[in-house]
Amino acid sequence: MERTAETYVNRNEEDEMEISGYSPCCWKLVLVLLGTICSGGFLLLFLYWLPELSVKWTCRAVPLRDARVVLLQTTDEFQTWSWVRVRSLFAPGSQPLGFPQLSESKRPLCQASQLEDWEGQEGLLSQLASGELAEIRFFVHHHMRYLWSAESQSFQRLTALDLGLPCASLHTLHGAGLPRSTQDYRRLFYGANQIDVQVPSVPKLLIKEVLNPFYIFQVFSMVLWSLDDYYLYASAILFMSLVSISCSLYTLRKQYILLHDMVAAHNIIRVTVYRGPHETEEIFSTELVPGDVLLVPPGGLMLPCDAVLLNGTAIVNESMLTGESVPVTKTALPKTTQSANGLLRDPVYSPEEHKRHTLFCGTCVIQTRYYSGEAVRALVIRTGFSSSKGQLVCSILFPKPTDFRLYRDACRFLLCLVGVAGLGMLYSVIRSIQQGERVGRIILESLDILTITVPPALPAAMTAGVVYAQRRLRGKQIFSISPQRINICGQLNLMCFDKTGTLTEDGLDLWGFVQAQNGSFLPVGQDVRAPGLSGSPLVAAMASCHSLTTIGGRLSGDPLDLKMFEATGWVLEEPTQEETALHDQIQPTVVHPPDQTPPEIPEGASEDEELMELMKLYQIGILMQFPFSSSLQRMSVVTRTLGEKKLVAYMKGAPETVGSLCRKETVPDNFSVVLESYAQQGLRVIALASRRLENKHTWHKVQHVSRDIIECHMEFLGLVMLQNKLKAETVPVLAELRRACIRPVMVTGDNLLTAVSVGRECGIIPAKGKVILTEALPPRDGQPATINWQYADELPAAEVMEKASKEEIKLMLDEEEPPPATRQNIADTSYHFAIGGKSFAVILDHFPDLLSKLLLCGTVYARMAPDQKTQLIEALQQMDYYVGMCGDGANDCGALKRAHAGISLSELEASVASPFTSKTPNISCVPDLIREGRAALVTSFCVFKFMALYSIIQYLSVLLLYSIMSNLGDVQYLFIDVAIILSLAFTMSLNSAWPELVPQRPPTGLVSPQLLLSVLTQILLSMGFQVGAFLLVQGQPWYRHKEDWHCGLVANLTLDSNSTPPRNVTAGLDPEEEGDDATSVRSFENTTLFYVSCFQYVAVALAFAKGRPFRQPTHTNGLFLASLVAISSFLLLLLLWPIPALDEFLELDCIPYEWRLILLVLTLSNLLLSLSLENFVCDCDILWQRVCYTQRKYEHPNQAPYPQLQLDEMAPGYSCRLHPRPQAKYKRLAQELLFDPDWPPQPKTSTKAQLPPAESTA
């Protein structure tokens, strides 16, 4: 049955959830209570772990309108369940953004006509009678409130002034502020304006941690061991558990404190709000609600909420959110204006679209520009956890589960171990019944097998590798707010890079400029300060069209603006606070040429003469700024030159954008050719334009005019070329990634040809790679959308190239090496698609069938808006790529958070812009992170395999001893689990990462033939040696049963008068004679299996401690080697030079020296076989290649025609003949391209989108 929209909240959003209503059911509650009592509380724990069942077993399903409890399930791939209670509040109104029903004297501070419009448009006014309180039903999930809507019969997220409101209404309806009564009313709905990260108390954290299934299982195990008289071992495990819990509590509490301190700076401050047009009041920031008008002081403040500027300008540092430390200029939100086509234009406000007018919570306002009688005001639009900072904090508090095969496979493997334990329990029960054991003893022994098979220390041991890797990353100035992603970094096979500030230097050098005059370009110039250019419009545009400001006596702003302004040598002067207070009109920022001295005015000159002399100065005042927008790819200013009446607008931006907004007669005919020639040199090209405004555009009117009216009919001035040099680390790091078969991709907002040129220069595009420029045009005039394919370079004949490229793909996918003669005829080339942001949008909408093919070969993505970068990351992930993203954080926040591993190059130690933050300002952090991720991932595999073998080895020992009604002793368990297992498991994780990135990648999960073979061979080997030793000891001539054995008949070379007589009490026991002791420990079988199993733990630890190619060799891990040597030496001492006191303590029997030597031979043989099988069978590439798998090898990486084949398939990976079809989508697509005759597209061809059936038949 199709689900209805009412069953969802946050429909079609990232956090979409399915919602169901429930109400408590008495008879279900009674049954659960009885079950809890009968199960000793375990049922309650079970329901605590499974929230879905806890609701369904205690409540009955009801419509949402009657629900007292709601059950929520995320609709993503994780299907996470949670439940919350529905609560109620009573308020004198039902609309959060409305007004309480009050007396006329307390009505809101706006006109009645405005209220009518507001009510008609948005339905915000309460219709309740005076004094009547409405019941508002709501629930809170992840700090977000959801209110019941009677109209839609569903719960809807509480929104504020950030959605669906026209910009004009924010000025007219909300610009005067709120009375105290309305503020108190709205606070009932929105709560306190506080991102309150509660630091849980230690008891609360302790209870939550102890209720973890892992610790519950440990408590169960310790109780069981105590009942079985293993007090010493149970006490040791209890001590280690307490240490583990204490460490976890300390780490969790420290993280909460760090997060609390990070947001506490702006949680409670004093702010000034407006209570009318002129009346103000100072309140605490926690009292703010959406609709309050905030006064932003000249000295700045830390923003406690999201607010939109209503007037004035502000310089803001947004590094806490974006990681970008360059101050940003914020301007006032424009009002409704007349657009260029004469129609009334009132855009809907959006914080993302209008971010240049929005002050975000957590950012710091450095300074503001204010004017006489009109302070800088900002309208509060979002508060608390609904603000941008609050949403980021929520993403840290409630991260999405990590979808990684290792963890899924680990859970499945544990279930398999539980199944194995079940078989052992069944065998133990049958054997015990045959021996006549008591029922209590049978239960204890069978449950004991379960605690042996599922090692309690497994989770802690597996996280050790991640903890060590995080510590090493911190030493390399790489910090993480999401440590669980370190393992995923080891699987990255595609890395996206921003260009400016990431691959290239932040600073730009002016390379040259070309002026346009009378529709043609003049010769290239180098010196902007040449005498003949001082008054040219091009220099005036370079000096005035920017968003620079003076902070602390120094110019600050965008590096490009700063470099262009410094190249002119002009001077920027900003009015002081005293100057702005003396004038009613706006005091502009003034720029003028250097060394301009005021003229000498003769004494006695009149005011007119003095004014005329001052007019001779050449000064430009900047009256209005339209800040740079990455989506519009341009910025502009409105200026006035001293002595002139008309205003002049200057614009700069992307050449394609600026050229399209200029009059055609002013744009040179060879514009595209000249632009392409400079872009191909890797230069960053900026176009400049100007326009003398009509007389109707006065000083005051331009303050509220739309930028669309100004930015049209411009006069093209010319091009400015800046050189953006590569960082020194870029080329070697990208070469290292390519050698490691990690595909690099460039995602930038710069010009397409500039990006292609930089891509060639840095090596993202190989020297002989062919670039296909992809231009997608939207539908127009009844014609379908079209893609034009243009090759950036000359190519060989189409017939030869097509044949060669297809042959090359075939060779890379074949299972055998091609003969040398064939390889000589292969075209040494590869194909790389370069796509612009507009084309990418068209392809997403109209060419979904081609999207995956383009992503498979796409290498350069230019002119990409921030949201398009996020869409690109998502599309690549859908093709089964493990995607990393590295950027400076300014416009990449969405992509950085969406990628599997996002790395922000920032000076901040803890930025919420991305999971990883590197204080090293270059991409050298990328290989470091991947290396540590691979090392942590391989460590997790090694530790898991070791812990699994430890469980199986001990399981086999116990089952063999159960067959003779014996068991391991208390001290023996303690020695094995603490002295051997824990010391080896935690020290084998200390291997640091291998310094070189290799083409191979670690496996993503445990379900791979090599890993399974490794585990199975070691299990069979351990079983064979244990069973062999067990049967061999029983066949020795000195072995006797209890009733036939006498101490003097035993030929024991180590026996002396002081040693304890050996006993073998393994058969013929009378349970009643044993009493409560039930089973004796000391026996020849116990001693033999103890020695064999202990040496097996050492053997598998050494075999599984992998070194190269992902970790440093084992001999570099000093602590692990010390543990191996210490344990082995102690075991050899016990075996060859027995000490009676130690034998007594460990409950070991005295055995003949000949048998000790035989055990030494057996253990050495086991060690040699374990190492041989692991290194020469399971890890032998040549053997796997010849027997079952084929290895793909290439002589030169550039021979592959497509980058995904050139890098990924070039790696020494394996493809089983039984399953030739790869699992990853991008690999399957690469195989399908072999048989596609139309791919790659031919040069100078076009592809049209398929029309929908309705259009095609029309």
Please give the positions annotated as active site. Answer: 498
Radius of gyration of the chain, Cα coordinates, nearest whole angstrom: 37
CA nearest to 363, candidates 914, 913, 895, 918: 913
Tell me if 715 sits within 8 A of 662, measured CB to CB: yes
Tell me the backbone φ, ψ of residue 998, rounded to 5 degrees.
-105, 160
Residue 1028's alpha-carbon distances to 449, 859, 1024, 1092, 1100, in angstroms, are 22, 60, 6, 10, 18
Residue 679's alpha-carbon distances to 721, 751, 862, in angstroms, are 9, 7, 12
The DSSP string of 1115-1129 is GG-HHHHHHHHHHHH
Tell me if 938 sits within 8 A of 988, measured CB to CB: no
Residues 6+ apart with CB under 8 A from 235: none
Q: Distance between CA 596 and CA 868 in Å, rounded? A: 47
Structure tokens at 1096: 């097996």
Count CA atoms within 13 Å of residue 669 on its CB side.
0
Which amino acid is located at 134 in the chain? Answer: A
Tell me the backbone φ, ψ of residue 817, rounded to 5 degrees.
-70, 135
CA nearest to 495, candidates 243, 872, 961, 776: 872
Residue 466's alpha-carbon distances to 302, 394, 937, 1209, in angstroms, are 36, 24, 8, 29
The DSSP string of 879-909 is TT--EEEEE-SSS-HHHHHHSSEEEEE-S-S
Torsion, CA 656, CA 660, CA 661, CA 664, rounded to 10: 130
Structure tokens at 961: 């001893």
| 981 CB burial (10 A radius; 0-12, 13-18, 19+) | buried
Q: Distance between CA 803 and CA 816 in Å, rounded? A: 20
Residue 264, SS3 per DSSP: helix
Residues 6+ apart with CB under 8 A from 830: 766, 768, 769, 770, 1198, 1199, 1200, 1201, 1202, 1203, 1206
Structure tokens at 1047: 């101490």
The label of the residue with tokens 């204080």 reads: 919
Q: Which residues of 449-486 are buried (b: 16+ CB within 10 A; e: fewer)?
A: bbbbbbbbbbebbbbbbbbbbbebbeebebbbbbbebb
Residues 6+ apart with CB under 8 A from 265: 302
Question: End-to-end distance of the chain based on CA atoms, in angstroms?
Answer: 34
Q: Which residues of 1211-1225 are buried (b: 16+ CB within 10 A; e: fewer)?
A: bebbbeeeeeebebe
Residue 122, SS3 per DSSP: helix
Q: How many residues does the chain have?
A: 1258
Structure tokens at 398: 């409630």
What are the residues facing 138 on neighbouring strands? 87, 147
Q: Which helix (H) or strand (E) is 65 found in, with range? A: none
Residue 589, SS3 per DSSP: strand
Residues 6+ apart with CB under 8 A from 435: 965, 1069, 1071
DSSP category for residue 615? T
